[in-house]
């Protein structure tokens, strides 16, 4: 109220405050500190340590993520719907519609959203691509850029808020009609655009939607066939890379999905990199070193599968028993394990995970881009198909 009376629009202050709330991925050091606090609480469950645990957990997550989780139900299910219900309503009749659709306010808003938005987005993207001679270009195809422009013509809550600040009375009703009409027109135009794109031949459709630009990658250290553990054809167009922990139960749940993925797609190569979470999985480090000891004898993937199938049995005796089961040279295996000869190789993977912003397992990268969301077979299969289509479009353009 004080801001409003002083002449400063509260909406502007709200936007400024939003920009000050920063986001960051959970760093490994914060996660390890939170784990240590929890262990202290497990040993001595006191109120002081409980508060320390809560503080450590909150510190591991960025303020942006915390506030989003806290306020999302209120903003999405209470505040925005109430605002829309309170401000969107207008009385419609023939006379009002005839007058409004000849009003410069209604027509200006309608044309600005339905025509101006797509022209501005598509035109500025095309101009930047031309001026940079292709060095800067959209990471998707031009049909997708145009679709993004047309769908951007749907404005509602913010548009209504600005309209209530700028107009009142009959002019406000005309502005509301322009906003609602623009939303309907933009949705229809977007549907027509993508419907027309769907009728194109497959290769043209892929290129129109996915483009030919080299995608920005999230994986800091590229896959190296001479170094990485790879399953599948080395020259496959799609690479699925997993940072995993042999003791992590979620990695164990993901393993059958990965195997099914490799059975379903013959043109996918799968890469495993170690990320033992030593603060929560005390046997993961030695298990990773055992896998490297097996790799010295050409049996990395055989032991990899056994370790993930028996995550509850990763003691040193268990590891030696698995080596015997695989017919490995036991003396060579145990010497390698006893001397921690694979520790440096595991540390390299951990360092590469830190450089790529990975702090938990399993974390997947598909053709260098981090996979967000679920890792069930349907979700990963769709991500692989998109990556394969993008690779095909790039090869075709080349």
H or E, element range at 334:
helix 330-338
Asked if 161 and 74 sit in the same domain, the reply is: no
Q: Tell me, yes or no, whether 370 and 282 share the same domain.
A: yes
In-domain check, residue 216: no
Residue 216 — pLDDT band, cuts 50, 70, 90?
A: low
Q: How many helices and strands in the chain, by DSSP H and E? A: 20, 5
Give the predicted TM-score (pTM) of the model.
0.73
- pLDDT the model gives residue 111: 94
Domain annotation covers residue 224:
no
Q: How confident is the model at residue 165 (pLDDT cuts 50, 70, 90)?
A: confident
Distances (CA, A) of 138 to 71, 115, 124, 147: 33, 20, 11, 13
Q: What is the band of 254 on the pLDDT scale with cuts at 50, 70, 90?
A: very high
pLDDT in tens, 300-331: 999 999 999 999 999 999 999 999 999 999 99
Q: 101 and 79, same structural domain? A: no
State yes or no: pLDDT of 212 exceeds 80: no
Same-domain status, 104 and 138: yes
Q: What are the CB-based long-range contacts (under 8 Å, 24+) for 26-29?
A: 26/60, 26/61, 26/62, 26/359, 26/360, 27/60, 27/359, 28/354, 28/359
Q: When comparing pLDDT for 27 and 291, which is higher?
A: 291
Domain count, the chain: 3
How many Cβ atoms from other residues are within 10 Å of residue 72's Cβ?
Answer: 10
Structural domain of residue 61, as residue ranges? 2-87
- Of the given ranges (33-47, 163-177, 321-335), which has the lowest mean pLDDT? 33-47
Where is the domain boundary, 210, 238, 257? Answer: 210
* pLDDT, the chain, mean: 89
230 or 101, which is more confident:
230
Q: Do 150 and 198 belong to one domain?
A: yes
> Is the pLDDT score of 398 beyond 60?
no
Whether 218 is covered by a domain: the verdict is no
Q: What is the pLDDT of residues 88-141, one digit of tens each?
A: 777 777 888 888 888 999 999 999 999 999 999 999 999 998 998 877 888 888
Residue 10 has pLDDT above 80, yes or no: no
44/146 same-domain check = no
240, 303: one domain:
yes
pLDDT, mean of residues 71-88: 81
Residue with tokens 């075709």: 396
* Among candidate residues 36, 68, 87, the one where a domain is terminated: 87
The pLDDT of residue 196 is 94
Predicted confidence band of residue 397 (pLDDT cuts 50, 70, 90): low
Query: Quick check: is 236 in a domain?
Result: yes
In a domain, 217, yes or no: no
Domain edge (last residue) among 87, 115, 142: 87
Higher-confidence residue of 193 and 163: namely: 193
300 and 330 housed in the same domain: yes
Higher pLDDT, 216 or 66: 66
d(CA 15, CA 17): 5
- Mean pLDDT, range 327-342, rounded to an integer: 95
- Helix orientation angle between 142-151 and 202-210, rounded to the nearest 10 degrees: 60
pLDDT of residue 395: 63
* DSSP three-state, residue 229: strand
Q: In the predicted model, is pLDDT for residue 12 greater than 80?
A: no
214, pLDDT greater than 70: no
Q: Name which of 277, 357, 347 is nearest 311 in CA terms.
A: 277
């Amino acid at each position: 109220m004080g801001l409003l009376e002083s002449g400063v629009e509260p909406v502007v202050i709200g936007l400024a405050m939003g920009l000050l709330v920063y986001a960051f991925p959970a760093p490994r050091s914060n996660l390890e500190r939170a784990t240590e606090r929890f262990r202290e609480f497990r040993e001595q469950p006191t109120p002081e340590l409980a508060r320390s645990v809560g503080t450590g957990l909150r510190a591991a997550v960025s303020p942006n993520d915390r506030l989003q989780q806290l306020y999302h139900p209120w903003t999405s299910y209470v505040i925005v719907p109430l605002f829309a219900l309170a401000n969107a309503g207008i009385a419609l009749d023939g006379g009002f519609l005839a007058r409004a659709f000849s009003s410069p306010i209604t027509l200006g808003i309608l044309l600005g959203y339905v025509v101006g938005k797509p022209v501005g987005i598509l035109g500025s993207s095309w101009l930047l691509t031309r001026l940079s001679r292709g060095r800067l270009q959209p990471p998707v195809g031009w049909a997708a850029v145009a679709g993004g422009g047309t769908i951007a013509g749907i404005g509602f809550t913010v548009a209504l808020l600005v309209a209530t600040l700028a107009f009142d009375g009959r002019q406000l009703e005309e502005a509301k009609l322009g906003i609602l009409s623009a939303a309907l027109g933009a949705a229809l135009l977007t549907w027509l655009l993508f419907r027309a794109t769907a009728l194109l031949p497959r290769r043209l459709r892929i290129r129109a939607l996915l483009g030919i630009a080299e995608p920005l990658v999230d994986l800091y250290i590229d896959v190296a066939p001479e170094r990485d553990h790879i399953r599948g054809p080395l020259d496959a167009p799609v690479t699925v890379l997993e940072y995993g922990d042999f003791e992590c139960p979620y990695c164990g749940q993901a393993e059958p999905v990965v195997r099914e993925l490799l059975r379903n797609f013959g043109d996918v190569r799968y890469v495993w990199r170690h990320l033992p979470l030593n603060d929560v999985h005390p046997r993961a480090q030695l298990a990773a070193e055992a896998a490297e000891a097996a790799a010295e004898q050409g049996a990395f993937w055989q032991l990899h599968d056994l370790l993930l199938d028996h995550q509850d049995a990763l003691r040193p005796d268990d590891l030696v028993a698995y080596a015997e089961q695989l017919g490995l040279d036991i003396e060579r295996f145990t010497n390698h394990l006893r001397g921690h000869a694979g520790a440096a190789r595991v540390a390299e993977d951990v360092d590469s995970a830190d450089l790529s912003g990975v702090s938990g397992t399993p974390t997947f990268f598909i053709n260098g881009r981090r996979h967000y969301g679920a890792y069930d077979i349907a979700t990963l299969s769709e991500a692989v198909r998109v990556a394969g289509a993008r690779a095909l479009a790039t090869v075709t353009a080349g």
